[in-house]
Structure 1
Amino acid sequence: MMNQRNCSTVAAEDIEAGNKNPKFQAETTLPIFLKFKEVTYKVLIKKLTSSEEKEILSGISGSVNPGEVLALMGPSGSGKTTLLSLLGGRISQSSTGGSVTYNDKPYSKFLKSKIGFVTQDDVLFPHLTVKETLTYAARLCLPKTLTREQKEQRAFDVMQELNLERCQDTMIGGAFVRGVSGGERKRVSIGNEIITNPSLLFLDEPTSGLDSTTALRTIQMLHDIARFAGKTVITTIHQPSSRLFHGFDKLILLGRGNLLYFGKSSEALEYFSSIGCSPLIAMNPAEFLLDLANSNINDISVPSELEDRVQLGNSGRESQNGKPSPIHETRVAEQEKRELLDPVPLDEEAKGIVLPLKPQWGASWWEQYCILFSRGLKERRHEYFNWLPVAQVLSMAVILGLLWWRSDIRTPRGLEDQAGLLFFIAVFWGFFPVFTAIFAFPQERAMLNKERAAGMYRLSAYFMARTTSDLPLDFILPTLFLVVVYFMTGLRVSPYPFFLSILTVFLCILAAQGLGLAIGAILMDIKKATTLASVTVMTFMLAGGLFVTKVPVFISWIRYISFNYHTYKLLLKVQYQGFAPFVNGVRIDNGLTEVVALVVMIFGFRLLAYLSLRQMKIGT
């Protein structure tokens, strides 16, 4: 089997052989030898009346060295992604058995900066360009010792390495946004991970959804990354073509959570032939191996003494006498067994590399905030030029202006009508922001999950950037709304009440937005969050002070947590201060109590949202 070699040895031999690749120069990379022995993983499945433990992985062993590409292959449900996530540190070690070591040491969170993890679904912002995506990743992840220009140059170098220069100014795109091709999107995902020069690169189904030619180029690129940059690459693959299959250095074949084969991919067929299993027709070797893993033996020659046991594999893993079928026995080549036991052959330079004792951020908190704020503005820039919300707000303002045209407060009826207008303003700007903010965190959950797992930034910096990048649009729309409504409906025409009315609406918007953020962060499910928000907003509206003024004591507390109630009272006090001592049962004073209540809601709801995000489990 393959000899263990560190990355500098791999690079030196390639250069001597004339195989130097100008795109993937050997960088100063910590060589990491990954070993795993007898790895098991179980999950607890809860039922209506009981719960049972299900074994997902059972006794998986293997190793992969710098400069090698290890493929995890098997049918759907065989445990490929689970094993990949476990090796990449995305699964808690408390629920696993066996050992996983990196240079003969267990996993620690300080390895995050040395690991790149590409998920099966490309988690990218659809409205950012290729260049913007990689540049923001570089500015967030690369060390503080580098200047902004050096980080941006690194992003450009990665684009060149991955042949992305031609589409660097094209948006990534998504389900409803036209953008780059599937192969280019996959390369951007890989570029996001290799931009920090990781030692370990994990990829989950990198060829999924790609045509055969693009898939082959992707695997060749991974081979170049491993061989010429000295990285350790592990990838899952479902059903590769024969050309892809021969592009892997090592292969792990899984079946029903068991290890069926570990060794050189080129020697897999030879091994199964040695136990009497061979294809009856010319077929892709990967298809043959997957048929074996699935116990599908229609086109496979199987020794007569194994036929009954293999046939039984369609309904169960074990034979009638309780012993595993030889097809489902673990096979680890002798050389691989020795490699699992041998100490890692690090050179003196690599031994001198020590991982930091605490996480090293690529930017200060303020820099992280600024970068994420800028990224948020660019990702949602299309919303600022979207005519729909502007048309919605302005049309509603015109309708209100026509219905309450030049209302006269000198009569009791006119005063009552204008109070109804102020209540509607409080309700409208309490309803609109809630259902906009609900989508913030659920829509970005996959991105937040991925970037937090990679240790790209502090959660507090992300939270502040995400919650403030919407404010420009949140302030522009109500200002347009009030300019139209205020002067059409005959509200108090004076600079002081006008600006206080705008400030009151802003406080209401921030409080309502905080409620939406909290509900979205707690539930992380748009349907459930929308349902809960609808009930909550309707309750706040009913308790807002217009529909019912005398509320029973046992439920009167609801109005005090209703931002509609406090906004309505504050608008009344702004408009009628000095005009009347009481309006609609509300005492006209300086409004300090309502301002304090809204400020407490603004910060209280956001604190609840932040704490909910901190409790969110990080994983794939």
Structure 2
Amino acid sequence: MIIAKDLFTLGDEYFTMPRREKYEIAPATAPENRLEGSAAHLNNVATAHRYRPAELVFRGIGVFFGGKQILRDVSGMVRPGEVLGVMGPSGSGKTTLLNALSGRLKTDSGLITLNGETLSKQLRRKICYVTQQDIFFPDLTLRQTLTYSALLRLPDYISYREKMEYVDHILDVLDLGRCQDTVIGDMMKRGLSGGEKKRANIASELLTNPTTMLLDEPTSGLDSSTAFSLMSTLKEYAEKENKTVIITVHQPSSQIFYMFDRLLLLCSGQMAYFGDTSQVVDFFSSVGLQITPHYNPADFIMEQLKKDSKTQEKIITAALEARNLEFQQMLCLPSEDDETVCSHSSALDFQSCDKQPWEHLRNCELVKHDLESTEPSSHSTSTPYIWNIPPSSKHDQTRPVEVIIDQDKKLRTIYQKIAVHQDDNDSGRSSWSGVVSSTFSSQDDLEEEEKWPTSFWTQLKVLTQRNFLEAKSRMLSKLNWIQTLGLGLLCGLIWFQVQRTEPTLWDIRGWMFFSMTYWMLFALFGALISFPPEREVINKERASGAYRLSAYYLAKMIGELPLTLTLPTVFHFISYPMLGIYSSQTFLCLWGFLILNTIVAQSVGLFIGASCTDLQVSVTISALYSLSTMLFGGYYSSSIPPWLQWLQYLSIVHYAYQNMQIVEFSGGPPIRCASTNSQFEVCRSGSSVFIPIEDIINQQGQAFPLWANTFILVIFLAVFRIMGYLVLRFIRKPK
């Protein structure tokens, strides 16, 4: 990479374009236009976060998967304000291409650039990817969903009020204001319609105001009217806010088809056409495939691409031949003699030029520049090149320009840093020309770009609130409340005021064991079943770089903690007083160990849910573990075979059950011996009418002290939580 600095002499008319910053909307010319009507109250946001349009170029993309080539030598480009449509039969590689362009799929060959810069992890954050599946938390309303997305994905230096203003703007742009208080819904709960979910999916990605938008079949599953309305909104948004948009479609209507500025056809992973949409019919005519008058071009194209292999080969061959010098220049592809300098006139685009090519660059002269005035570059020692352009106006002024040429990758892209007039409102900062500007204003900006849009504490706070709100309706549902209240009363009636004698000793133990095992199963399977749908949302948000995994994982533990405590607490507060309270300390200690056992069981469920992608497999593993830990808990069998006794130390029920016995029999009235046939030696000898506490606790084997059991349970809690995090971090990473 060579960096050279010189003076660019150009007319003022080329530098009078409006300032384009990150959340700034084009000046309103028609008050009734919903895209522009909300711009006035976003000026503060625009000033805080700059926005620059981006030109996306991809060349020679090839992707192998499972030993099979999915994409082969696919090239194209799309500029700000344009919509590129990607069409092709099912299995032609449309989604694979979007995955590659978004950086989510590693390419085996080819090059992807954004404003001339090779796609990197930081540049990926400038690209939003709207997947075909509408993945949301079903119990949150649309307003809540977008609010949390804005709080997580918009930078901390943007105030809460400004973030909410931008949410209102997105709702207005996509015409979602009427349904903003409706829950998202799912198959079991009625919520947004199919079209509204599609627009909500797009809205959640538009909140970051990306330079480039990738949408995977946004019209699938929609009726023609809804699909046309959605595409009209996307087209209008791309033009008004100067976005770069790529959309995959399967078989659009003729109205939608002609909304695309450019068209890329894929056939068996190869490029069958790339160019203006208006020229695609002529292209097929040139290879002897004539369209019938008044026939939908999209249907005609799909029919030809699905024909026999001979027809497909003829189309692909014609597309390859069409990559002549003009096409090479448009994509900045190297020519055969490797001496051609790309004509940038096709790639330059300015607001003030009404999107017409910059004709002065056609007559530019490529000259060498003295390296003495440039800073040394660590990338290369060859001679840099500067575009010298003749003056076009008597009002010409000199301005600095930085030209970066990557000769190794044949990238001949100009990065123009244009000085701002002293009386500009943004004095002291640099503004960049529309399309050919770098995605970052300087290398320093690139280095100082924050890895995450918000701080760890902001993410933790917002995710904790969202997890609490999302889990509340699920964990504290009406059915769960009815089940808890009914079961608490039923247990209280079964063990009502049980006598503290040796014959009823197993009744008291029965209440303890039932309480622990029931809430263990409730928490374990509750976490297990709820995690798979939540994991889809988390993977989607992690893939877009919304927040840290550590922030989410810690927020999930904190946000769901009060919900996890609620139902076991209600059960204990109902059933145990009916059993008989003899000490408030005993009552609270039993409640504490019941809660600890529940949280440990929830940790096991989270770990298994994170590890297994198949729900049936995870349920089987959970059932095997939970039933085994109950068998070795010490209640069902007091004479475990010696060669199996070591398994009881892996049972969380074993430790919790021992603790509850220690607390209950130590803090309550003593247990009276049976009048006859006592199981305890002290009772049979007549030396005491009450059973010693040690004999009761050690009746099923030597027990650990209270502190040791508690410490082991805490170890179980920490180990399973950490293992769950490590699985999500290194094994179940989002694709």
Q: TM-score, normalised by structure 2?
A: 0.74
Aligned residues of 2:497 and 2:579 also touching (Cα < 8 A) = yes
Aligned residues of 1:576 and 1:588 also touching (Cα < 8 A) = no
Other structure's SS at 1:203 match: strand
Residue 332 of structure 1: how far off its partner (Å): 4.0
* Amino-acid identity (%): 35
Residue 80 of structure 1: how far off its partner (Å): 0.2
The one-letter code matched in structure 2 to 1:364 is S
Please point out which of 164, 167, 171 is paired with 2:176: 164
Deviates more, 1:399-408 or 1:114-123: 399-408
In the other structure, the counterpart of 1:417 is 507
In the other structure, the counterpart of 1:301 is none
The one-letter code matched in structure 1 to 2:463 is L
After superposition, give the CA deviation of every residue in 1:320-340 in whole Å (9 maximum; x if it has no partner). xxx997478575475432111
Q: How many residues align?
A: 582
**2-side partners of 1:345 and 1:72: how far apart?**
28
In the other structure, the counterpart of 2:386 is none
Other structure's SS at 1:582 match: helix
Aligned residues of 2:467 and 2:556 also touching (Cα < 8 A) = yes
1:523 aligns to 2:612 (yes or no): yes
Other structure's SS at 1:581 match: helix
Residue 243 of structure 1: how far off its partner (Å): 0.6
In the other structure, the counterpart of 2:545 is 455
The one-letter code matched in structure 2 to 1:478 is P
Larger Rg: 2
After superposition, give the CA deviation of every residue in 1:480-500 in whole Å (9 maximum; x if it has no partner). 11122212223x521010000
The one-letter code matched in structure 1 to 2:562 is P
In the other structure, the counterpart of 2:465 is 374
Structure 1 residues 287 and 362, CA, compared in 2 at 3 Å: closer, same or farther? same
**2-side partners of 1:336 and 1:99: how far apart?**
16
Aligned residues of 2:254 and 2:298 also touching (Cα < 8 A) = yes
Structure 1 residues 230 and 345, CA, compared in 2 at 3 Å: closer, same or farther? farther
After superposition, give the CA deviation of every residue in 1:113-155 in whole Å (9 maximum; x if it has no partner). 3111111111122222222111111111111111111111111
**2-side partners of 1:346 and 1:617: how far apart?**
40
1:431 aligns to 2:453 (yes or no): no
In the other structure, the counterpart of 1:598 is 713
After superposition, give the CA deviation of every residue in 1:17-45 in whole Å (9 maximum; x if it has no partner). 9799661569642222211111110112x
In the other structure, the counterpart of 2:330 is 339
Structure 1 residues 66 and 10, CA, compared in 2 at 3 Å: closer, same or farther? farther
Q: What stretches of structure 2 of length at least 5 have no aligned partner? A: 1-13, 333-341, 343-411, 418-431, 671-692
The one-letter code matched in structure 1 to 2:694 is P
The one-letter code matched in structure 1 to 2:591 is I
In the other structure, the counterpart of 1:504 is 593
Deviates more, 1:419-428 or 1:581-590: 581-590
In the other structure, the counterpart of 2:358 is none
**1-side partners of 2:732 and 2:589: how far apart?**
43
Residue 16 of structure 1: how far off its partner (Å): 11
Structure 1 residues 268 and 588, CA, compared in 2 at 3 Å: closer, same or farther? closer
Structure 1 residues 248 and 549, CA, compared in 2 at 3 Å: closer, same or farther? same
**1-side partners of 2:166 and 2:476: how far apart?**
32
1:77 aligns to 2:122 (yes or no): no
Aligned residues of 1:6 and 1:346 also touching (Cα < 8 A) = no
**1-side partners of 2:538 and 2:165: how far apart?**
25
In the other structure, the counterpart of 2:54 is 32
Please point out which of 29, 43, 49 is paired with 2:65: 43
Structure 1 residues 326 and 371, CA, compared in 2 at 3 Å: closer, same or farther? same
Aligned residues of 1:260 and 1:330 also touching (Cα < 8 A) = no
Q: What stretches of structure 1 of length at least 5 have no aligned partner? A: 45-52, 297-307, 318-322
Please point out which of 122, 144, 152 is paired with 2:156: 144
Deviates more, 1:24-33 or 1:190-199: 24-33
Deviates more, 1:467-476 or 1:187-196: 467-476
Aligned residues of 1:582 and 1:588 also touching (Cα < 8 A) = no
Aligned residues of 1:427 and 1:541 also touching (Cα < 8 A) = yes
Residue 210 of structure 1: how far off its partner (Å): 1.5
Aligned residues of 2:81 and 2:239 also touching (Cα < 8 A) = yes
Residue 92 of structure 1: how far off its partner (Å): 2.5
Please point out which of 399, 406, 420 is paired with 2:497: 406
Aligned residues of 1:164 and 1:184 also touching (Cα < 8 A) = yes
Please point out which of 174, 182, 189 is paired with 2:186: 174
1:274 aligns to 2:259 (yes or no): no
In the other structure, the counterpart of 2:660 is 571
Counterparts of residues 580-619 of structure 1 (less than 5 Å): 580-583=693-696, 584-585=699-700, 591-616=706-731, 618-619=733-734
Residue 284 of structure 1: how far off its partner (Å): 0.8
Deviates more, 1:589-598 or 1:500-509: 589-598
Deviates more, 1:253-262 or 1:444-453: 444-453
Q: TM-score, normalised by structure 1?
A: 0.88
Other structure's SS at 2:273 match: strand
Counterparts of residues 71-470 of structure 1 (less than 5 Å): 71-93=85-107, 96-280=108-292, 282-295=294-307, 309-310=310-311, 326=317, 331-332=322-323, 335-341=326-332, 342=342, 343-344=412-413, 346-348=415-417, 349=432, 350-351=437-438, 352-353=441-442, 354-357=445-448, 359-383=450-474, 386-410=477-501, 412-470=502-560
